[in-house]
A and B are shown apart, each in its own frame.
Chain A
Amino acid sequence: MQNKLLELTAAAQQINSGASLAIGGFTSQRHPTALLRELIRQKRKDFVVYAHSAGSELDLLIGAGCVRRVEAAYLADGVLAPIAPNWRRFIESGELEFEDYSNAAMMARFTAGAMGLPFFPTLSMLGTDMLEQDGLSPESRERDPEAAVCKAVLMDCPFSKRKVVLVPAITTDFCLLHVQKASPAGLVRIEGQEFLDVQMALASRRVIVTCEELVDDEELRREPERNRIPSFAVHGVVHVPFGAHPHGVHNYYDYDPDHLILYNNSAETEDGLVRYLDRFVYGVEDQASYLNAVGGRVQLEALKAHSGFGYNPKLRRRVA
Protein backbone atom coordinates (compact mmCIF):
# COMPACT_ATOMS: atom_id res chain seq x y z
CA MET A 1 0.00 0.00 0.00
CA GLN A 2 1.34 3.39 -0.98
CA ASN A 3 2.34 5.67 1.90
CA LYS A 4 1.22 9.22 1.10
CA LEU A 5 2.34 10.84 4.35
CA LEU A 6 3.90 14.26 3.97
CA GLU A 7 5.17 17.01 6.23
CA LEU A 8 3.17 20.23 6.08
CA THR A 9 5.97 22.19 4.36
CA ALA A 10 6.45 19.48 1.72
CA ALA A 11 2.71 19.30 1.08
CA ALA A 12 2.58 23.07 0.53
CA GLN A 13 5.60 22.90 -1.82
CA GLN A 14 3.54 20.74 -4.21
CA ILE A 15 0.97 23.50 -4.63
CA ASN A 16 2.15 25.98 -7.24
CA SER A 17 1.33 29.64 -7.66
CA GLY A 18 -1.44 30.18 -10.19
CA ALA A 19 -3.13 26.86 -9.34
CA SER A 20 -6.89 26.52 -9.02
CA LEU A 21 -8.03 25.41 -5.57
CA ALA A 22 -11.08 23.98 -3.84
CA ILE A 23 -10.87 24.37 -0.07
CA GLY A 24 -12.99 22.14 2.16
CA GLY A 25 -15.11 23.08 5.17
CA PHE A 26 -18.02 25.48 5.68
CA THR A 27 -18.01 28.98 7.32
CA SER A 28 -16.62 28.36 10.83
CA GLN A 29 -15.91 24.62 10.39
CA ARG A 30 -13.15 22.26 9.21
CA HIS A 31 -11.00 24.41 6.92
CA PRO A 32 -7.36 23.32 6.36
CA THR A 33 -5.97 26.53 7.89
CA ALA A 34 -2.54 25.16 8.90
CA LEU A 35 -1.86 24.24 5.28
CA LEU A 36 -3.15 27.62 4.05
CA ARG A 37 -0.87 29.50 6.49
CA GLU A 38 2.05 27.46 5.15
CA LEU A 39 1.11 28.45 1.58
CA ILE A 40 1.12 32.11 2.67
CA ARG A 41 4.57 31.68 4.28
CA GLN A 42 5.80 30.08 1.07
CA LYS A 43 4.61 33.21 -0.79
CA ARG A 44 2.22 31.58 -3.26
CA LYS A 45 0.38 33.94 -5.61
CA ASP A 46 -2.43 34.09 -8.17
CA PHE A 47 -4.60 31.25 -6.90
CA VAL A 48 -8.05 30.88 -8.41
CA VAL A 49 -10.34 29.67 -5.62
CA TYR A 50 -13.75 28.03 -6.02
CA ALA A 51 -15.90 27.93 -2.89
CA HIS A 52 -19.47 27.67 -1.63
CA SER A 53 -19.69 29.13 1.90
CA ALA A 54 -16.15 30.04 2.88
CA GLY A 55 -15.00 31.71 6.09
CA SER A 56 -11.94 33.57 7.28
CA GLU A 57 -9.58 30.87 5.94
CA LEU A 58 -10.19 32.15 2.41
CA ASP A 59 -10.41 35.73 3.62
CA LEU A 60 -6.89 35.45 5.07
CA LEU A 61 -5.57 33.96 1.83
CA ILE A 62 -7.09 36.92 -0.05
CA GLY A 63 -5.67 39.42 2.46
CA ALA A 64 -2.18 37.91 2.18
CA GLY A 65 -2.24 38.59 -1.58
CA CYS A 66 -2.31 34.93 -2.65
CA VAL A 67 -5.55 35.01 -4.66
CA ARG A 68 -6.37 36.58 -8.00
CA ARG A 69 -9.93 35.31 -8.44
CA VAL A 70 -12.73 33.82 -6.35
CA GLU A 71 -15.95 32.20 -7.55
CA ALA A 72 -18.14 31.66 -4.50
CA ALA A 73 -21.54 31.98 -2.84
CA TYR A 74 -20.63 33.45 0.56
CA LEU A 75 -17.70 34.64 2.67
CA ALA A 76 -18.21 35.15 6.42
CA ASP A 77 -17.78 33.30 9.73
CA GLY A 78 -21.52 33.24 10.42
CA VAL A 79 -22.55 35.82 13.00
CA LEU A 80 -19.05 35.81 14.52
CA ALA A 81 -17.90 37.91 11.57
CA PRO A 82 -20.86 38.77 9.34
CA ILE A 83 -18.85 40.02 6.32
CA ALA A 84 -15.39 38.66 5.58
CA PRO A 85 -13.29 41.86 5.78
CA ASN A 86 -10.75 41.30 2.99
CA TRP A 87 -13.43 39.93 0.65
CA ARG A 88 -15.22 43.22 1.25
CA ARG A 89 -12.20 45.52 0.96
CA PHE A 90 -10.58 43.81 -2.04
CA ILE A 91 -13.83 43.88 -4.04
CA GLU A 92 -14.68 47.47 -3.06
CA SER A 93 -11.20 48.59 -4.17
CA GLY A 94 -11.27 46.49 -7.36
CA GLU A 95 -8.29 44.31 -6.36
CA LEU A 96 -10.00 40.93 -6.70
CA GLU A 97 -11.76 39.27 -9.61
CA PHE A 98 -14.94 37.62 -8.41
CA GLU A 99 -18.10 35.88 -9.56
CA ASP A 100 -21.23 35.26 -7.48
CA TYR A 101 -23.22 32.05 -7.48
CA SER A 102 -25.62 30.57 -4.93
CA ASN A 103 -24.57 27.66 -2.71
CA ALA A 104 -26.78 25.21 -4.61
CA ALA A 105 -25.24 26.43 -7.89
CA MET A 106 -21.68 25.93 -6.60
CA MET A 107 -22.74 22.50 -5.31
CA ALA A 108 -24.04 21.71 -8.81
CA ARG A 109 -20.79 22.93 -10.42
CA PHE A 110 -18.55 20.77 -8.19
CA THR A 111 -20.93 17.82 -8.62
CA ALA A 112 -20.59 18.10 -12.41
CA GLY A 113 -16.78 18.16 -12.07
CA ALA A 114 -16.84 15.15 -9.75
CA MET A 115 -19.08 13.19 -12.14
CA GLY A 116 -17.12 14.00 -15.28
CA LEU A 117 -19.99 16.04 -16.73
CA PRO A 118 -19.45 19.39 -18.50
CA PHE A 119 -22.36 21.14 -16.72
CA PHE A 120 -25.21 20.55 -14.30
CA PRO A 121 -28.84 21.75 -14.36
CA THR A 122 -30.36 23.59 -11.39
CA LEU A 123 -33.67 25.30 -10.65
CA SER A 124 -31.85 27.84 -8.50
CA MET A 125 -30.82 31.41 -9.42
CA LEU A 126 -33.91 31.87 -11.64
CA GLY A 127 -35.20 35.43 -11.26
CA THR A 128 -31.98 36.70 -9.65
CA ASP A 129 -29.28 39.17 -10.66
CA MET A 130 -26.81 36.29 -10.58
CA LEU A 131 -28.16 35.52 -14.07
CA GLU A 132 -28.26 39.21 -15.12
CA GLN A 133 -24.94 40.62 -13.91
CA ASP A 134 -21.48 39.13 -14.35
CA GLY A 135 -18.57 39.75 -12.02
CA LEU A 136 -16.08 38.66 -14.69
CA SER A 137 -16.10 40.56 -17.97
CA PRO A 138 -16.28 38.57 -21.25
CA GLU A 139 -12.74 39.81 -22.04
CA SER A 140 -11.34 38.53 -18.77
CA ARG A 141 -13.04 35.17 -19.32
CA GLU A 142 -11.52 34.98 -22.78
CA ARG A 143 -8.04 35.82 -21.44
CA ASP A 144 -8.24 33.28 -18.66
CA PRO A 145 -7.95 29.59 -19.56
CA GLU A 146 -9.19 28.79 -16.03
CA ALA A 147 -12.55 30.54 -16.57
CA ALA A 148 -15.66 28.93 -18.03
CA VAL A 149 -16.83 30.44 -21.35
CA CYS A 150 -19.77 32.05 -19.53
CA LYS A 151 -21.29 32.16 -16.06
CA ALA A 152 -24.54 30.25 -16.62
CA VAL A 153 -27.09 29.51 -19.34
CA LEU A 154 -30.85 29.80 -19.02
CA MET A 155 -32.65 27.23 -21.17
CA ASP A 156 -36.03 25.63 -21.71
CA CYS A 157 -35.94 21.97 -20.74
CA PRO A 158 -36.32 19.96 -23.99
CA PHE A 159 -38.66 17.51 -22.24
CA SER A 160 -40.86 19.55 -19.91
CA LYS A 161 -40.36 23.05 -21.37
CA ARG A 162 -39.66 24.26 -17.81
CA LYS A 163 -36.94 26.85 -17.35
CA VAL A 164 -33.65 25.46 -16.06
CA VAL A 165 -30.26 27.01 -15.39
CA LEU A 166 -27.11 25.24 -16.59
CA VAL A 167 -23.94 25.92 -14.65
CA PRO A 168 -20.43 24.96 -15.84
CA ALA A 169 -18.45 22.15 -14.18
CA ILE A 170 -15.54 22.98 -11.90
CA THR A 171 -12.35 20.94 -12.06
CA THR A 172 -9.51 22.20 -9.90
CA ASP A 173 -5.78 21.52 -9.81
CA PHE A 174 -5.91 20.90 -6.06
CA CYS A 175 -8.46 20.17 -3.38
CA LEU A 176 -7.30 20.91 0.17
CA LEU A 177 -9.29 19.32 2.98
CA HIS A 178 -9.07 19.06 6.74
CA VAL A 179 -10.80 15.96 8.13
CA GLN A 180 -11.07 14.05 11.40
CA LYS A 181 -9.38 10.82 10.33
CA ALA A 182 -7.27 9.56 7.44
CA SER A 183 -5.01 6.59 6.86
CA PRO A 184 -1.43 6.94 5.53
CA ALA A 185 -2.72 5.51 2.24
CA GLY A 186 -5.28 8.33 1.97
CA LEU A 187 -8.56 6.72 3.02
CA VAL A 188 -10.70 9.54 4.47
CA ARG A 189 -13.30 9.48 7.24
CA ILE A 190 -15.42 12.59 7.87
CA GLU A 191 -17.47 12.96 11.05
CA GLY A 192 -20.45 15.29 11.39
CA GLN A 193 -21.58 17.16 8.29
CA GLU A 194 -19.49 16.42 5.22
CA PHE A 195 -20.34 19.82 3.67
CA LEU A 196 -19.25 19.54 0.01
CA ASP A 197 -15.85 17.97 0.73
CA VAL A 198 -16.44 14.71 -1.14
CA GLN A 199 -17.59 16.38 -4.36
CA MET A 200 -14.79 18.97 -4.14
CA ALA A 201 -12.18 16.22 -3.75
CA LEU A 202 -13.53 14.17 -6.65
CA ALA A 203 -13.67 17.29 -8.87
CA SER A 204 -9.96 17.85 -8.35
CA ARG A 205 -6.83 16.54 -10.06
CA ARG A 206 -4.84 16.30 -6.80
CA VAL A 207 -6.21 16.01 -3.27
CA ILE A 208 -4.21 16.89 -0.17
CA VAL A 209 -5.77 16.03 3.16
CA THR A 210 -4.71 17.24 6.58
CA CYS A 211 -6.16 15.28 9.49
CA GLU A 212 -6.64 15.44 13.24
CA GLU A 213 -5.82 11.74 13.63
CA LEU A 214 -3.79 9.36 11.56
CA VAL A 215 -5.48 5.94 11.68
CA ASP A 216 -4.43 2.53 10.34
CA ASP A 217 -6.02 1.69 7.04
CA GLU A 218 -7.16 -1.66 8.49
CA GLU A 219 -9.00 0.10 11.30
CA LEU A 220 -10.90 2.39 8.90
CA ARG A 221 -11.76 -0.59 6.70
CA ARG A 222 -13.62 -2.26 9.57
CA GLU A 223 -16.45 0.30 9.12
CA PRO A 224 -16.42 1.12 5.40
CA GLU A 225 -19.85 2.78 5.58
CA ARG A 226 -18.25 5.61 7.55
CA ASN A 227 -15.49 6.36 5.02
CA ARG A 228 -16.11 9.06 2.42
CA ILE A 229 -13.18 9.30 -0.01
CA PRO A 230 -11.25 6.29 -1.35
CA SER A 231 -7.46 6.41 -1.10
CA PHE A 232 -6.98 6.22 -4.88
CA ALA A 233 -8.48 9.71 -5.12
CA VAL A 234 -6.09 11.15 -2.50
CA HIS A 235 -2.48 12.17 -3.19
CA GLY A 236 -1.10 13.49 0.09
CA VAL A 237 -1.88 13.06 3.80
CA VAL A 238 -0.55 15.34 6.54
CA HIS A 239 -1.12 14.75 10.24
CA VAL A 240 -1.94 18.17 11.75
CA PRO A 241 -3.74 18.23 15.13
CA PHE A 242 -5.71 21.47 15.53
CA GLY A 243 -5.12 21.92 11.79
CA ALA A 244 -8.39 23.84 11.37
CA HIS A 245 -7.97 26.34 14.24
CA PRO A 246 -9.56 28.95 14.62
CA HIS A 247 -12.38 26.96 12.99
CA GLY A 248 -14.05 23.97 14.60
CA VAL A 249 -13.78 20.23 13.89
CA HIS A 250 -16.82 18.15 14.91
CA ASN A 251 -16.01 15.69 17.73
CA TYR A 252 -12.55 17.27 18.25
CA TYR A 253 -12.78 20.96 19.08
CA ASP A 254 -14.99 24.01 18.77
CA TYR A 255 -14.36 27.17 16.80
CA ASP A 256 -12.41 29.79 18.75
CA PRO A 257 -14.80 32.75 19.03
CA ASP A 258 -12.21 35.10 20.54
CA HIS A 259 -9.70 34.38 17.82
CA LEU A 260 -12.27 34.68 15.00
CA ILE A 261 -13.34 38.05 16.38
CA LEU A 262 -9.69 39.10 16.80
CA TYR A 263 -9.13 38.16 13.15
CA ASN A 264 -12.23 40.00 12.00
CA ASN A 265 -11.38 43.17 13.90
CA SER A 266 -7.71 43.05 12.81
CA ALA A 267 -8.48 42.47 9.14
CA GLU A 268 -10.87 45.41 8.95
CA THR A 269 -7.87 47.71 8.36
CA GLU A 270 -4.76 47.11 6.26
CA ASP A 271 -2.50 47.89 9.23
CA GLY A 272 -4.40 45.49 11.43
CA LEU A 273 -4.14 42.79 8.80
CA VAL A 274 -0.37 43.27 8.51
CA ARG A 275 -0.03 42.96 12.29
CA TYR A 276 -2.21 39.83 12.31
CA LEU A 277 -0.12 38.23 9.54
CA ASP A 278 3.13 39.10 11.35
CA ARG A 279 1.91 37.65 14.61
CA PHE A 280 0.10 34.50 13.48
CA VAL A 281 1.51 33.59 10.05
CA TYR A 282 4.95 35.03 9.18
CA GLY A 283 6.02 35.27 12.83
CA VAL A 284 5.43 31.58 13.54
CA GLU A 285 7.54 29.01 11.77
CA ASP A 286 5.26 26.00 12.10
CA GLN A 287 1.97 24.70 13.49
CA ALA A 288 3.42 24.14 16.99
CA SER A 289 4.49 27.76 17.34
CA TYR A 290 1.15 28.91 15.86
CA LEU A 291 -0.71 26.97 18.55
CA ASN A 292 1.48 28.61 21.20
CA ALA A 293 0.80 32.03 19.72
CA VAL A 294 -2.98 31.54 19.88
CA GLY A 295 -2.92 30.65 23.56
CA GLY A 296 -1.20 27.28 23.85
CA ARG A 297 -2.46 24.31 25.79
CA VAL A 298 -4.81 26.21 28.12
CA GLN A 299 -6.72 27.83 25.26
CA LEU A 300 -6.85 24.66 23.16
CA GLU A 301 -8.07 22.63 26.13
CA ALA A 302 -10.94 25.11 26.56
CA LEU A 303 -12.05 24.48 22.95
CA LYS A 304 -12.09 20.67 23.13
CA ALA A 305 -15.33 18.94 22.20
CA HIS A 306 -17.25 17.18 24.93
CA SER A 307 -18.24 13.58 24.46
CA GLY A 308 -21.84 13.23 23.32
CA PHE A 309 -21.93 16.76 21.88
CA GLY A 310 -19.23 17.05 19.23
CA TYR A 311 -18.57 20.63 20.45
CA ASN A 312 -17.94 22.31 23.80
CA PRO A 313 -21.34 23.12 25.35
CA LYS A 314 -19.63 25.38 27.91
CA LEU A 315 -17.81 27.55 25.37
CA ARG A 316 -18.34 31.26 26.02
CA ARG A 317 -19.50 32.99 22.86
CA ARG A 318 -20.26 36.52 21.72
CA VAL A 319 -20.61 38.39 18.45
CA ALA A 320 -18.13 40.79 16.88
Chain B
Amino acid sequence: MKILQHSTTEIMVVAAAREIADGEVVFAGTGLPILGAMLAQRMHAPNCDIVFEAGAVAPRMLHLPMSVGDSRTLFGAAQAAGLFDVFNYILQGGRVDVGFLGGAQIDRYGNLNSTALGPDYRHPKVRLPGSGGSADVSALSSRTVIIARHEKRRFPERVDYRTSPGWLVGGNSRERAGIPGGGPAAVVTTLGVIKYRPITREPYLASYHPGATPLNVKAETGFEIDCSEAVETSAPSNDELEILRRVVDPEGIFLRG
Protein backbone atom coordinates (compact mmCIF):
# COMPACT_ATOMS: atom_id res chain seq x y z
CA MET B 1 0.00 0.00 0.00
CA LYS B 2 1.25 3.44 -0.89
CA ILE B 3 1.92 5.71 2.08
CA LEU B 4 0.58 9.23 1.48
CA GLN B 5 2.96 12.17 1.97
CA HIS B 6 1.80 14.92 4.34
CA SER B 7 2.38 18.67 4.63
CA THR B 8 3.45 20.42 7.86
CA THR B 9 -0.06 21.84 8.24
CA GLU B 10 -1.56 18.38 7.89
CA ILE B 11 0.62 16.72 10.52
CA MET B 12 -0.04 19.63 12.88
CA VAL B 13 -3.80 19.17 12.52
CA VAL B 14 -3.54 15.37 12.83
CA ALA B 15 -1.36 15.56 15.95
CA ALA B 16 -3.77 18.08 17.51
CA ALA B 17 -6.78 15.88 16.72
CA ARG B 18 -5.12 12.98 18.55
CA GLU B 19 -5.17 15.07 21.76
CA ILE B 20 -8.97 14.73 21.87
CA ALA B 21 -10.37 11.63 23.57
CA ASP B 22 -13.67 10.04 22.62
CA GLY B 23 -16.64 11.40 24.54
CA GLU B 24 -14.99 14.70 25.46
CA VAL B 25 -16.56 18.15 25.15
CA VAL B 26 -14.35 20.31 22.91
CA PHE B 27 -14.51 24.11 22.70
CA ALA B 28 -13.06 25.05 19.31
CA GLY B 29 -11.69 28.40 18.13
CA THR B 30 -11.64 29.74 14.55
CA GLY B 31 -9.22 28.24 12.00
CA LEU B 32 -7.08 25.12 12.38
CA PRO B 33 -8.62 24.14 15.77
CA ILE B 34 -11.92 23.52 13.96
CA LEU B 35 -10.17 21.20 11.46
CA GLY B 36 -8.58 19.26 14.32
CA ALA B 37 -11.88 18.84 16.14
CA MET B 38 -13.73 17.79 12.96
CA LEU B 39 -10.99 15.25 12.14
CA ALA B 40 -11.08 13.77 15.67
CA GLN B 41 -14.85 13.41 15.42
CA ARG B 42 -14.46 11.38 12.21
CA MET B 43 -11.55 9.23 13.45
CA HIS B 44 -11.00 8.07 17.00
CA ALA B 45 -13.46 10.34 18.84
CA PRO B 46 -16.86 9.95 17.13
CA ASN B 47 -18.65 10.77 20.38
CA CYS B 48 -16.83 14.01 21.15
CA ASP B 49 -19.10 17.05 21.22
CA ILE B 50 -17.92 20.36 19.81
CA VAL B 51 -19.20 23.67 21.16
CA PHE B 52 -18.77 27.14 19.67
CA GLU B 53 -18.96 30.40 21.60
CA ALA B 54 -21.35 32.00 19.08
CA GLY B 55 -23.97 29.47 20.08
CA ALA B 56 -23.74 26.12 18.24
CA VAL B 57 -23.79 23.17 20.66
CA ALA B 58 -22.76 19.62 19.68
CA PRO B 59 -23.19 19.79 15.88
CA ARG B 60 -22.40 17.06 13.34
CA MET B 61 -20.84 19.43 10.79
CA LEU B 62 -20.65 18.54 7.12
CA HIS B 63 -18.86 21.66 5.89
CA LEU B 64 -15.89 23.52 7.32
CA PRO B 65 -16.88 26.80 9.07
CA MET B 66 -14.86 29.96 8.33
CA SER B 67 -15.48 31.33 11.82
CA VAL B 68 -17.09 30.13 15.02
CA GLY B 69 -20.20 32.15 14.07
CA ASP B 70 -20.62 30.46 10.67
CA SER B 71 -24.00 28.80 9.95
CA ARG B 72 -22.03 25.65 9.14
CA THR B 73 -21.41 25.16 12.88
CA LEU B 74 -25.15 24.51 13.28
CA PHE B 75 -25.55 21.52 10.98
CA GLY B 76 -26.98 18.62 12.98
CA ALA B 77 -26.51 20.61 16.20
CA ALA B 78 -28.17 19.64 19.46
CA GLN B 79 -28.91 23.31 20.18
CA ALA B 80 -28.64 26.75 18.63
CA ALA B 81 -27.93 28.95 21.64
CA GLY B 82 -25.87 32.11 22.06
CA LEU B 83 -22.92 33.57 23.97
CA PHE B 84 -24.88 33.72 27.24
CA ASP B 85 -25.59 29.98 27.40
CA VAL B 86 -22.25 28.79 26.05
CA PHE B 87 -20.02 30.98 28.23
CA ASN B 88 -22.10 30.78 31.42
CA TYR B 89 -23.48 27.27 31.51
CA ILE B 90 -21.12 25.24 29.36
CA LEU B 91 -17.71 26.91 29.82
CA GLN B 92 -17.82 28.67 33.22
CA GLY B 93 -20.05 25.87 34.51
CA GLY B 94 -17.04 23.59 34.07
CA ARG B 95 -18.38 21.36 31.28
CA VAL B 96 -15.57 21.78 28.73
CA ASP B 97 -12.89 19.05 28.75
CA VAL B 98 -10.58 20.55 26.17
CA GLY B 99 -10.27 24.02 24.68
CA PHE B 100 -8.74 24.08 21.20
CA LEU B 101 -7.01 27.38 20.37
CA GLY B 102 -4.59 29.22 18.11
CA GLY B 103 -2.52 32.31 18.91
CA ALA B 104 -0.12 34.76 17.27
CA GLN B 105 2.48 34.45 20.07
CA ILE B 106 3.06 31.65 22.57
CA ASP B 107 5.59 31.93 25.37
CA ARG B 108 7.55 29.52 27.54
CA TYR B 109 4.62 28.81 29.85
CA GLY B 110 1.98 28.54 27.13
CA ASN B 111 0.52 32.02 27.59
CA LEU B 112 -1.04 33.35 24.36
CA ASN B 113 -1.08 36.76 22.74
CA SER B 114 -3.75 37.59 20.17
CA THR B 115 -4.07 41.28 21.07
CA ALA B 116 -1.02 43.39 20.16
CA LEU B 117 2.64 43.02 19.13
CA GLY B 118 5.32 45.38 20.43
CA PRO B 119 6.32 46.77 23.82
CA ASP B 120 3.56 49.40 24.11
CA TYR B 121 0.00 48.01 24.22
CA ARG B 122 -1.58 51.43 23.63
CA HIS B 123 0.65 52.10 20.62
CA PRO B 124 1.33 48.65 19.20
CA LYS B 125 3.56 47.80 16.25
CA VAL B 126 0.89 45.41 15.04
CA ARG B 127 -2.62 45.38 16.37
CA LEU B 128 -4.30 41.94 16.27
CA PRO B 129 -8.03 41.12 16.47
CA GLY B 130 -8.16 40.63 20.27
CA SER B 131 -9.10 37.89 22.69
CA GLY B 132 -12.49 36.88 21.37
CA GLY B 133 -13.21 33.84 23.53
CA SER B 134 -9.56 32.79 23.81
CA ALA B 135 -8.98 34.20 27.32
CA ASP B 136 -12.22 32.59 28.47
CA VAL B 137 -11.43 29.16 27.05
CA SER B 138 -7.87 29.29 28.44
CA ALA B 139 -9.10 30.10 31.93
CA LEU B 140 -12.14 27.87 32.15
CA SER B 141 -11.54 24.61 30.20
CA SER B 142 -10.25 21.54 32.05
CA ARG B 143 -7.24 21.68 29.72
CA THR B 144 -6.25 23.43 26.48
CA VAL B 145 -4.49 22.36 23.31
CA ILE B 146 -2.83 25.13 21.32
CA ILE B 147 -2.13 24.94 17.59
CA ALA B 148 0.49 27.23 16.03
CA ARG B 149 3.07 27.47 13.27
CA HIS B 150 6.51 26.98 14.79
CA GLU B 151 8.57 30.11 14.11
CA LYS B 152 11.03 31.80 16.46
CA ARG B 153 9.20 35.15 16.39
CA ARG B 154 5.99 33.39 17.46
CA PHE B 155 7.66 31.58 20.38
CA PRO B 156 9.28 34.28 22.58
CA GLU B 157 10.37 33.86 26.20
CA ARG B 158 7.48 36.13 27.19
CA VAL B 159 4.47 37.29 25.16
CA ASP B 160 4.17 41.05 24.50
CA TYR B 161 0.63 40.98 25.90
CA ARG B 162 -0.89 38.14 27.84
CA THR B 163 -4.32 37.73 26.26
CA SER B 164 -4.93 34.17 27.43
CA PRO B 165 -3.48 32.56 30.54
CA GLY B 166 -1.30 29.47 30.20
CA TRP B 167 0.85 28.46 33.18
CA LEU B 168 1.57 32.23 33.75
CA VAL B 169 5.14 32.25 35.14
CA GLY B 170 5.31 28.55 35.96
CA GLY B 171 5.03 26.62 39.24
CA ASN B 172 1.70 27.20 40.95
CA SER B 173 1.31 30.78 39.68
CA ARG B 174 -1.82 29.89 37.71
CA GLU B 175 -3.53 28.45 40.77
CA ARG B 176 -2.47 31.43 42.87
CA ALA B 177 -4.09 33.78 40.35
CA GLY B 178 -7.39 32.01 41.10
CA ILE B 179 -7.87 30.59 37.61
CA PRO B 180 -10.35 27.72 37.93
CA GLY B 181 -9.55 25.65 34.78
CA GLY B 182 -6.60 23.37 34.11
CA GLY B 183 -4.09 25.06 31.78
CA PRO B 184 -2.30 24.04 28.58
CA ALA B 185 -1.70 20.33 28.07
CA ALA B 186 -0.01 20.55 24.68
CA VAL B 187 1.18 23.01 22.06
CA VAL B 188 1.02 21.31 18.69
CA THR B 189 3.15 22.99 16.04
CA THR B 190 4.43 22.44 12.51
CA LEU B 191 7.57 20.86 14.04
CA GLY B 192 6.40 18.87 17.04
CA VAL B 193 4.41 18.71 20.27
CA ILE B 194 5.41 20.68 23.38
CA LYS B 195 4.11 19.58 26.78
CA TYR B 196 4.63 20.82 30.35
CA ARG B 197 6.19 19.20 33.42
CA PRO B 198 3.97 18.70 36.44
CA ILE B 199 4.77 21.04 39.38
CA THR B 200 7.33 23.30 37.62
CA ARG B 201 5.27 23.73 34.43
CA GLU B 202 8.49 23.95 32.44
CA PRO B 203 8.04 23.11 28.75
CA TYR B 204 9.59 20.04 27.12
CA LEU B 205 9.48 18.62 23.65
CA ALA B 206 7.35 15.47 23.77
CA SER B 207 7.68 14.68 20.08
CA TYR B 208 9.08 16.03 16.83
CA HIS B 209 7.33 15.40 13.53
CA PRO B 210 8.83 13.21 10.77
CA GLY B 211 11.18 15.46 8.80
CA ALA B 212 11.90 17.71 11.80
CA THR B 213 14.57 17.23 14.49
CA PRO B 214 14.97 18.42 18.08
CA LEU B 215 17.64 20.79 16.74
CA ASN B 216 15.11 22.40 14.36
CA VAL B 217 12.78 22.86 17.29
CA LYS B 218 15.48 24.49 19.45
CA ALA B 219 16.44 26.81 16.57
CA GLU B 220 12.84 27.94 16.05
CA THR B 221 12.01 28.38 19.74
CA GLY B 222 12.79 31.63 21.57
CA PHE B 223 13.03 29.98 25.00
CA GLU B 224 14.99 27.13 26.53
CA ILE B 225 13.32 23.80 25.83
CA ASP B 226 14.29 20.35 27.07
CA CYS B 227 14.33 17.94 24.12
CA SER B 228 15.96 15.01 25.93
CA GLU B 229 12.90 12.79 25.97
CA ALA B 230 11.49 13.65 22.56
CA VAL B 231 10.42 10.84 20.25
CA GLU B 232 9.28 11.01 16.65
CA THR B 233 5.56 11.76 16.18
CA SER B 234 3.88 8.84 14.47
CA ALA B 235 3.20 9.89 10.90
CA PRO B 236 -0.39 10.60 9.85
CA SER B 237 -2.11 7.45 8.67
CA ASN B 238 -3.58 7.26 5.19
CA ASP B 239 -7.03 7.29 6.81
CA GLU B 240 -6.30 10.47 8.74
CA LEU B 241 -4.99 12.22 5.63
CA GLU B 242 -7.79 11.03 3.36
CA ILE B 243 -10.46 12.17 5.79
CA LEU B 244 -8.73 15.47 6.36
CA ARG B 245 -8.39 16.15 2.62
CA ARG B 246 -11.61 14.68 1.26
CA VAL B 247 -14.08 15.18 4.07
CA VAL B 248 -12.91 17.95 6.42
CA ASP B 249 -11.39 20.42 3.95
CA PRO B 250 -12.17 19.25 0.40
CA GLU B 251 -12.11 22.89 -0.78
CA GLY B 252 -8.49 23.16 0.35
CA ILE B 253 -9.27 26.32 2.32
CA PHE B 254 -6.56 25.60 4.90
CA LEU B 255 -4.70 22.67 3.46
CA ARG B 256 -3.82 24.04 0.05
CA GLY B 257 -0.27 25.39 -0.16
Does B7 sit at the interface, judged by CB under 8 A?
Answer: no
Give, as a whole number of angstroms, the nearest-CB distance from A142 to chain B: 17
Q: Is the CB of A92 within 8 A of B127?
A: yes
Q: Is the CB of A310 within 8 A of B70?
A: no
Q: Is the CB of B30 within 8 A of A318?
A: no
The segment from B115-123, B204-212, B218-226 that touches chain A is B115-123
Does A100 sit at the interface, judged by CB under 8 A?
Answer: yes
Partner of B71, one of A126, A195, A254: A254
Q: Is the CB of B125 within 8 A of A104?
A: no
Give, as a whole number of angstroms, the nearest-CB distance from B63 to chain A: 6
| A129, A191, A254, most chain B CB atoms within 10 A | A129
Give, as a whole number of angstroms, the nearest-CB distance from B168 to chain A: 5
Tell me the chain A residues, 133-163 only, with Cβ under 8 Å from chain B.
Answer: 133, 135, 162-163
Q: Is the CB of A313 within 8 A of B62?
A: yes
Q: Is the CB of B71 within 8 A of A127?
A: no
The dominant DSSP class at the B interface is: loop
Flag B142-171 by CB within 8 Å of A: 1 or 0 each: 000000000000000000011111001000
Taken together as a complex, chains A and B put the C-alpha atoms of A318 and B254 apart, in Å, by 9
Taken together as a complex, chains A and B put the C-alpha atoms of A196 and B67 apart, in Å, by 16
Take A27-B67, A104-B136, A127-B168 as given contacts and tell me if A78 and B81 are in contact as well, using a CB distance cutoff of 8 Å.
no
Give, as a whole number of angstroms, the nearest-CB distance from A309 to chain B: 7
Partner of B72, one of A82, A84, A311: A311
Tell me the chain B residues, 230-255 only, with Cβ under 8 Å from chain A.
Answer: 251, 253-254
Q: Is the CB of B168 within 8 A of A195?
A: no
Take A124-B139, A129-B115, A310-B71 as given contacts and tell me if A101 and B87 are in contact as well, using a CB distance cutoff of 8 Å.
no
Contacts of B178 in A (CB 8 A): 123, 126-127, 162-164
Q: Is the CB of B66 within 8 A of A128?
A: no
Q: Is the CB of A193 within 8 A of B133?
A: no
Q: Is the CB of A194 within 8 A of B82?
A: yes
Q: Is the CB of B130 within 8 A of A128?
A: no
Flag A234-277 by CB within 8 Å of B: 1 or 0 each: 00000000000000101000110100000000000000000000
Taken together as a complex, chains A and B put the C-alpha atoms of A27 and B133 apart, in Å, by 12
Taken together as a complex, chains A and B put the C-alpha atoms of A45 and B129 apart, in Å, by 23
Taken together as a complex, chains A and B put the C-alpha atoms of A81 and B206 apart, in Å, by 33
Closest to B121 in A: A133
Does A214 sit at the interface, judged by CB under 8 A?
Answer: no
Taken together as a complex, chains A and B put the C-alpha atoms of A193 and B86 apart, in Å, by 11
Q: Is the CB of B133 within 8 A of A103?
A: yes
Tell me the chain B residues, 84-111 only, with Cβ under 8 Å from chain A.
Answer: 84, 87-88, 91-92
Q: Return the 6 tightest CB-CB contacts between A and B, nearest first.
A: A78-B67, A163-B178, A193-B55, A74-B132, A127-B165, A26-B69
Besides A78-B66, A92-B123, A128-B131, 7 more A-B contacts (Cβ < 8 Å) are: A26-B69, A73-B132, A78-B70, A123-B92, A123-B179, A129-B163, A255-B66
- What are 18 A-B pairs with beta-carbon distances under 8 A? A26-B83, A74-B132, A78-B67, A92-B126, A92-B127, A102-B132, A102-B134, A103-B87, A103-B131, A104-B83, A104-B135, A124-B92, A124-B140, A127-B179, A128-B131, A129-B162, A255-B70, A305-B71
